[in-house]
Structure 1
Amino acid sequence: MKKIIDLIKQEITSAFVACEFDEKYGMVSLSNRPDLCQYQCNGALAAAKEYKKAPIMIANDVVAKLENNEMFKEIIAVMPGFINIKISENYLASYINDMASGENFGFEKAENPKTIVIDYGGPNVAKPLHVGHLRSAVIGESVKRISRYVGHNVIGDVHLGDWGLQMGLIITELKKRQPELVYFDESFDGEYPEEAPFTITELEEIYPFANAYSKEHPEFKEEAKNATFELQNGRKGYVALWNHILNVSVTDLKKNYDKLNVSFDLWKKESDAQGYIPDMVKYLKEGGYARISEGALVVDVKEETDTKEIPPCMILKSDGATLYNTTDLATIVERAELFNPDAITYVVDKRQELYFEQVFRCAKKTNLIGEHVKLTFLGFGTMNGKDGKPFKTRDGGVMRLENLISDITTAVYDKIMSNREISEEEAKAIANKVGIAAIKYGDLSNQAAKDYVFDVDRFTSFEGDTGPYILYTIVRIKSILNKYKEVTGVDTIAVSEILPATCESETALMLELTKFGDTITAAFAENAPHRVCQYIYDLSNAFNKFYHENKIIANEDEKVRTSWIQLITLTCNILNTCIELLGIEAPDRM
């Protein structure tokens, strides 16, 4: 079904045309003065210059054509030429009923679904997830879910970092500690053990130790570089160790991503793109796209219109070694071959914008990817502490993500136990869902590109623009519906219409519900989960105002009571759909 604002625009545009004005002036927007009207049209102001007529006269002419239109409760022209619009309660109720009975609340899915690859997460193997991984994970997950809801074929890829010096460092350090392992015996030709020779805890200790040690001991670093080279050239024992590192790391990563309600369709790795590099380099050379600069192979990506310096995209170092650029370009080639995508979106720290600008330009200029493929850099800002600096532990270290989740859920648990008499087990289950909502909503309610302050006290509050407040609203509606069932004995409401609103708070709630389609459309078009957050906060506020001003179950008019139950059921369903798009779940009670 069409968005309500488009239906209003359709009527306004017809009136402009009937008055012999161009249809482009029939623009309608939400009112910036909701105390005066619900929608407004400023087209008469713009038309005045072209038609050399006072804007108020144009507005009066248009309004005269619409005075008897049943869509409008009130439509008036006000100085200097605004058209203020209020829609009728009957029309609004009719639209809400169509939403309630329609699939996806009347939201029209994409007519021509596209294939979209979303690259998010990006952790390195053998390293724990820390707070710096939070934003990529939760933003990418939400963008994926919104894109799917719109109707597109979406592929989420974690894109693991698994192919570089870190592997050589781990292998070299492991050899130093356990030289007797068969992986280091080049003459060994049997089956390697299925069990890894280390746990995730040991692995996470080995890498930082080896990395720090290599900075003080050049001979160790040289040995690690050689181990990396041998791994990348297929030394069997090292490949077996590498597979152990991957398996142990991915198992742990999945466990932690599961806690965040984040999942991936693909667990592709940097190493998966390596096989595409030789042919890609050959293509760039033979096609005349690449040139030698100080021994390195580069592709010029600067445009004449650039106002800032854009360095060439380096493909190979002077010693023939590959770089991140090389791997990322090869990954684009791989994705084009495997999925033939219409778009690839990268959810990455905004400080990498220049780097991705180079990679994207190189891919387009050299025709590694089709001109029709949209490459998008969705850069996110920093998660900071109250001091305005990147979020740290109390001792100044980088906090592990699982510790952050634990701290938040513990804070929520304490609040629940201090206010309610429920079992510890139920409180913990509730705290897990509310804690994740606090973290994810706290992040997603901010525009992705902006830095934000991670405030545990504010994010875990059950009041204000927070995840717990949204969940509490949903739980409140569930409680009303359960009580209605107890009082009436009715499990499912018979098909009945939502009646026209009888009070301002009911009208306001209905109007918020009608914005669902606009919200989803904008959130997808802009890769902006914060739009969904703003919507459900406004919708929750509208519901709570309606709830506080009206006795829903105690209403003596059965038709009104049933209508209100239908209305809040729709509200609950839309809120649940929206939090699912954010990767959040609501408990049954709080």
Structure 2
Amino acid sequence: MNKIVTIISSIVESAFVECGYDSCYGNVTVSNRPDLCQYQCNGAMAAAKVYKKRPSEIASEVIEKLKASEIFSEVTIVNPGFINMNLKDEFISEYINKINSCHSYGVEITDNPKKIIIDYGGANISKPLHVGHLRTAIIGEALKRMGRFLGNEVIGDVHLGDWGLPMGMVISEIKSRNPNLPYFSHKELDEYSSKAPFTISDLEEIYPTASKKAKEDSVFMEEAKMATFYLQNGKKGYLALWRHILKISTEDLKKNYGKLNVEFDLWKGESDCHKYIDKLTSYLKEHNYAYESEGALIIDVAEPEDKKPIPPFILLKSDGAVLYSTTDLATIYERVMLYKPDLIMYVVDKRQSLHFEQVFRCAKKTGIAGEALNLQFIGYGTMNGKDGKPFKTRDGGTMRLEELIKQVQQKVKEKITMNNSDLDMDEIEDISRIVGLSSLKYGDLSNQISKDYIFDIDKFTSFEGKTGPYILYTIVRIKSILRKAAERKLPVSSSIGKPQSNTERDIMLKLSLFSDIVETSFEEKVTHKLCEYMFELSNLFNKFYQENKILTEQNLELQGSWLSLLSLIKGVLETCCSLLAIEVPERM
């Protein structure tokens, strides 16, 4: 169904045309002064410059045409030529009933669906998820879900760090502890054990130990580089050991991402594109894109119009080793070849913007990414502590994501336990899990993606204000009302009647904007607008709840209309939560 703003714009555009003006001046927007009007058109000011008339004169002509429309209750001019419009309640309720009968609540499937790959996650094999992995995971998941809701084919790829020097470090540390393992024998076996000689707990201790040793011990660092070389050149024992590391780490990562309600379609990593690097290098050399400089193989990506220096893209180091730039370029090559996407989105720390600028330019310059392929960098800011610095543990270390989730859930649990005596412990645990995650996710996603933000556990877990718990509590309150209505066998109207108050009208107008919010959020690749919408709709409902005795209303026709409206509010809020991968409990 058409968006309400589109319908109104079409009528206003026709009025401009009837008056002899171009239709482009009839664009309508939601009013930025809701105390004055519901919608506004500012086109008369722009038209005045072209047609050499006063804006008020043009606006007056247009308004005379609009008065004949059946959808407006009031159309007025505000100097110098703003056209302010209010809709008839009959039109508003008619539009809301159309939304209510639509399974997607008015959101239209795109006429031009795209195949989109979203690169988010970026976890490293053999390392646990830490707080730095939170934003990419939940932002990427939200964008994936919004894209699919609008009818696009969206593929989520975790893009694991599983092939570089860190793998060599881990293998070298395992060897130093257990040199007699068959993986390190000079005599390669045709088949190695299917059982790994370590657990995920072992790996989580091995990696930081190896990393520390590599920084302090040059001999160990050389061993790690040699192990990386053996691995990347197909030494059977090292490959078998690497497969164990990959399998155990991936299983653990799937479990932990699952706790965040984050799912990936592809569990690919740097290793998957490695087989294309030789072919890619040959292509770039043959077509004179790459050349040697101080032993390294590089590609110039700077442009004459650049206002800041853009360093050359390094394809291979002087010793022939590959870099992140190499694997990122090869990954684009692989994705184009296997999936033929229209758009590849990278949800990555904004501090990597220069790196991806180089990668994207190189992909475009060399023809690896065709003209039609859109490469988009979505850089997010950092989650900081109250001191304004990147979030750390009390001793200054990087906090595990699992530990952060536990802390938030414990905080929520304390509040729920304090205010609910009728819940058993199992239910409290489950509610704390759901509400705790909503605190963490909504607290993050309600900020502009590119901005840094302060993690404040007390603020995020509050049941009041712009928080996840407040949104969920609103939905649970509506569920409770509808449940009680069903128990009392109160009839729910098949249609929603005209608004009976300003608050009810405001709710309907807010519901009418749901499709605009979803489309805009995905088009602009943001999440905070959807979060703001959820908060505003929740506020309006709670105001309505305070103003009306819904379950004891004597006018059954009005009561049935209200219950139908509540069901619609619940459906829209639950859909918003689903788009942000936020679960909703039955009780709180």
- CA deviations on 1:95-114 (whole Å, 9 max, x unpaired) are 00000112311211111211
1:221 aligns with 2:215: no
SS of equivalent residue, structure 1 residue 104? coil
Identity %: 57
Distance in 2 of aligned mates of 1:328 and 1:78: 55
Partner SS, residue 344 of structure 2? strand
- Map 1:280-429 to 2 at 5 A: 280-421=280-421, 422-429=423-430
Letter in 2 for 1:353: S
Moved over 3 A (4+): none
The alpha carbon displacement at 1:116 in A equals 0.3
Aligned length: 587
CA distance in 1, matches of 2:528, 2:508: 22
Alignment of 1:125-524 (within 5 A): 125-189=125-189, 191-421=191-421, 422-488=423-489, 493=492, 496-524=494-522
Alignment partner of 2:335: what SS?
helix
In structure 2, what is the Cα distance between the partners aligned to 1:50 and 1:126?
65
- Shift of residue 50, structure 1, vs aligned partner: 2.1
How many Å separate the matches in 2 of 1:177 and 1:227? 15
Residues 110 and 150 in structure 2, CA contact (< 8 A), matched pair in contact too: yes
Name the aligned partner's letter for residue 208 of structure 1: P
Q: Provide the rounded CA distance (Å) in 1 between the counterparts of 2:365 and 2:184.
A: 45
Q: Specify the SS of the correspondent of 1:154.
A: strand
Matched residue, 2:3 = 3
Tell me the SS of whatever aligns to 1:280.
helix
Q: Deviations over 1:37-84 (max 9, x none)?
A: 111111112222222222212211111112232201111112221111
Contact between 1:435 and 1:460, CA under 8 Å: does it hold in 2? yes
The answer for the alignment partner of 1:13 in structure 2 is: 13
TM-fit CA distance, 1:413:
0.6
Match in the other structure for 2:72: 72
In the alignment, the residues of structure 2 paired with residue 382 and residue 16 of structure 1 have an alpha-carbon distance, to the nearest angstrom, of: 47
Q: Is the contact between residue 106 and residue 514 of structure 2 (CA under 8 Å) also seen in structure 1? A: no
Q: 1:537 and 2:538 equivalent?
A: no
Structure 2 unaligned spans of 5+: none
Q: Does 1:526 align with 2:524?
A: yes
Question: What SS does the aligned partner of 1:565 have?
Answer: helix
Determine the C-alpha separation between the residues in 2 that align with 1:507 and 1:397.
Answer: 51
Alignment check: 8 A CA contact 1:460 1:467 kept:
yes
Displacement, 1:564? 0.8
- Deviation at residue 532 of structure 1 after TM alignment: 1.0
| 1:554-569 equivalence runs, <5 A | 554-569=552-567
Q: Distance in 2 between the 1:484 and 1:184 partners?
A: 70
Give the residue type in structure 2 aligned to 1:162: D
Instruction: Find the partner of 1:581 among 563, 579, 582.
Output: 579
Question: Aligned to 2:40, what secondary structure does the other structure show?
Answer: strand
The question of whether the paired residues in 2 share the 8 Å contact of 1:163 and 1:270 is answered with yes
User: Root-mean-square deviation (CA), in Å?
Assistant: 1.1
SS in 2 for 1:83: strand
C-alpha separation in 2, matches of 1:260 and 1:152: 23
**Structure 1 runs not aligned, ≥5 long:** none
- One-letter amino acid of the structure 1 residue matched with residue 332 of structure 2: I
How many Å apart are 1:379 and its aligned residue? 0.3
1:180: Cα distance to partner? 2.2
Structure 2 letter corresponding to 1:195: K
Shift of 1:160: 0.4
The equivalent of 2:28 in structure 1 is 28
CA–CA separation in structure 1 for the residues paired with 2:343 and 2:570: 33
Q: Distance in 2 between matches of 1:317 and 1:180?
A: 33
TM-score, structure 2 as length reference = 0.98
- The one-character-per-residue Cα deviations of 1:257-307 (angstroms, maximum 9, x if unpaired) are 011000100000101100000110000011111122222111111111111
Contact 1:186 1:237 in 2 (8 A): no
Q: Matched residues in 2 for 1:143 and 1:42: separation?
A: 32
Instruction: Write the distance in 1 (CA, Å) between the matches of 2:254 and 2:412.
Output: 24
